[in-house]
A and B are shown apart, each in its own frame.
Chain A
Amino acid sequence: MENWESEVERNWEEGPSLGSESGRAPEETPAQPEPGSGAKARRDASDGRDLYLNIRVLVGMMSAFVLTFTFVARIIVVSGPSMENTLQGGDLMLVWSLGYTPKQGDIVVLTQESYQEDSIVKRVIAVEGQTVDIDYSSGVVSVDGSPLKEEYIKERMLLPSYGEGINHVTVPEGCIFVMGDNRNHSADSRYPDIGIVDVRCVIGHGIAVMFPFHHWKGL
């Protein structure tokens, strides 16, 4: 494997069909007689090469880090109490973005610019085609007529300060209905400024709390 990799590396550098003049790897450069003083120059060159290689590794790691956390996954810092007790303010959450389609019950990170520019974390209550009914008198949320068993909510849901908001709706195609687990301190799809969320606004799906370590759990 190692040989194969070094061969690929060499081909990349030197090309597949070079003449005898140019196919040498650095180690194969013919040794040339040097006086004792030439050793210092060689050492300097070697130090420079090592420094360069270290910087190159650093730059490579930085590129890989940013590209991975742009296209594949993200780390989001939870801010605010709307997802308590599932998530606490300050938790570091790993979010999967690549090829994700929202499903009922998932915790998602989304940006609804009609509400705020920063992203928010909520739970998917219903996806396209499903009908959501919220009964504040009993504190029950029903989807397609079936009451949800919501063991994750922090406390019994009360009527929000802005009124009932959006409490009976069939989710249109390509959209989701989201709510926070801390129902009484959450601006979510019930709140008209947020409302039904387009799935294209979803950044990804929370898969684990990474930090602090005593909060570590899969989601």
Chain B
Amino acid sequence: MNPINKSVSGRFSWLLFALAAAFVSAALRRWQLGSAFERDTGLPIRGAQASVILTCVLVMAAAWFMILAVQQSLGKHPVEPGQARRWDLVFLDAGDPVYPILVVLAAFLALAAAPFLLRTGIGQWLAYRELAAAHAKDASVQLPSSNGALTIATAVGSLLSFLGLLQMGRDGLHAGRRGKGGFSATLPGIAGCIWLMESFRGHAANPVQWDYAPLLLAIVCGMVLYMDFAGMSTSASRPRRLLWVAAMTLVMSGAALVSALAEGSVADVLLLLAQGLTAAAVLWRLPPKLEHPPTMKGTPIPQSGEASIQEDTTDE
């Protein structure tokens, strides 16, 4: 097989396997919601087939993608004086519109989540203030579990995600400055921390772990995805783990998306779609470029006082 065909098959095998696994996990979660919980109480039915099969599929997907990731062949990583690795170059390609389109779309989905979160957060804050005033007069009045602060913080986080993802998309269109391209991904990674805390707080009193475990795991996968993406600009890059995490982000986001839709949580749906699209973009771009990393030509040696330099990149 010639290198181009091999690259295409590598690209499609990762993306298609991940999308198929995401679709299966979403379908199983849908089945589980319809059959594995008691209708009147919402409590889980012990040993329900759907729950067992969904667990098995998620574990098998994790193991399968880990095997694929470990076996993924890597070309020689691009090396440059003063920079141990340049794996971030695989995302900097002006010739492929799919990656930037997906990432910019993800950015706008993250942005779209902000008004929903803000509205919910402000509503919680106003309700909290009202009840706090009543509680001051009558101690028997129960305070709500949330004062809305974390939800508002998550809205701010989704704005950070927007900025970070937008920069990632721009970097995908224009060969970026060295050492900076991937760092914008830390913004959605940090925003994921706030989203994780907010989701955890929202379900802290829920005894049914299935109600929120897929969401929390999807958020954690997304956080690790963004952080590993950012790491591609440093010598701490882990390209194989990034592949695995991207695939698992798609799979877990598929299952969590069904939960979020069932709960009617628009903000969660939008944020899950955003990280799912980013994961798909990574799986589109990364596998073939790992085998055949872009090379640099005419790299200038940094002059005195220069913190960053531009360079030309070519692919394959």
Residues of A within 8 A of B (CB): 11-16, 18, 21-22, 26, 29-30, 32-38, 40-42, 44-45, 48-49, 52-53, 55-56, 58-60, 62-63, 66-67, 69-71, 74, 110-111, 113, 116-119, 198, 200-203
Contacts and interface: CB of A to CB of B under 8 A. Distances in A.
Contacts of B44: 200
A52 B231 contact: yes
Contacts, number: 161
B71 A202 contact: no
B204 A63 contact: no
Contacts of B200: 66, 69-70
Contacts of A37: 302-306
Interface of B: 41-44, 70-77, 79, 81-85, 142, 145, 178-180, 183, 186, 189-190, 192-193, 196-197, 200, 204-209, 212-213, 216, 220, 223-224, 227, 230-231, 233-241, 301-309
B301 A35 contact: yes
A33 B301 CA distance: 10
Given A26-B85, A69-B200, A111 B206 contact: yes
A12 B238 contact: yes
Nearest to A31: B81
A13 B227 contact: no
A41 B196 contact: no
Given A12-B70, A15-B70, A56-B236, A200 B183 contact: no
Instruction: Please indicate which of the listed interface residues A13, A16, A59 has the most CB atoms of chain B within 10 Å of its own CB.
Output: A59
Nearest to A16: B70
Given A41-B302, A71-B209, A118-B142, A62 B76 contact: no
Contact of B76 (A22, A49, A66): A22
Contact of A203 (B207, B230, B237): B207
A59 B192 contact: yes
Given A34-B82, A45-B234, A56-B231, A201 B207 contact: yes
B302 A38 contact: yes
A67 B220 contact: yes
14 contacts: A15-B72, A33-B81, A36-B304, A45-B234, A45-B235, A48-B180, A49-B234, A59-B189, A63-B220, A63-B223, A67-B220, A116-B142, A117-B205, A118-B205
A15 B186 CA distance: 26
Given A45-B234, A48-B179, A59-B224, 7 more contacts: A26-B236, A32-B81, A34-B82, A34-B301, A56-B236, A58-B193, A70-B209
A52 B63 CA distance: 28
Contacts of B197: 62, 66
Contacts of A49: 234-236
A69 B20 CA distance: 31
A37 B301 CA distance: 9
Contacts of B302: 37-38, 40-41
Given A117-B205, A118-B205, A70 B84 contact: no
A22 B301 contact: no
Nearest to B217: A67
Contacts of A36: 304
A34 B74 contact: no
B234 A59 contact: no
A196 to B, nearest CB: 13
B236 to A, nearest CB: 6
A21 B76 CA distance: 5
A40 B70 contact: no
B75 A22 contact: yes
A59 B227 contact: yes
A15 B227 contact: no
Contacts of A74: 204
B81 A34 contact: yes
Contacts of A55: 186, 189-190, 227, 230
A59 B75 contact: no
Contacts of B301: 34-35, 38
Contact of B305 (A40, A116, A117): A40
A53 B228 CA distance: 10
A44 B230 CA distance: 16
Nearest to B203: A70
Given A13-B240, A63-B196, A201-B43, A38 B82 contact: yes
Nearest to B182: A52
Nearest to B241: A12
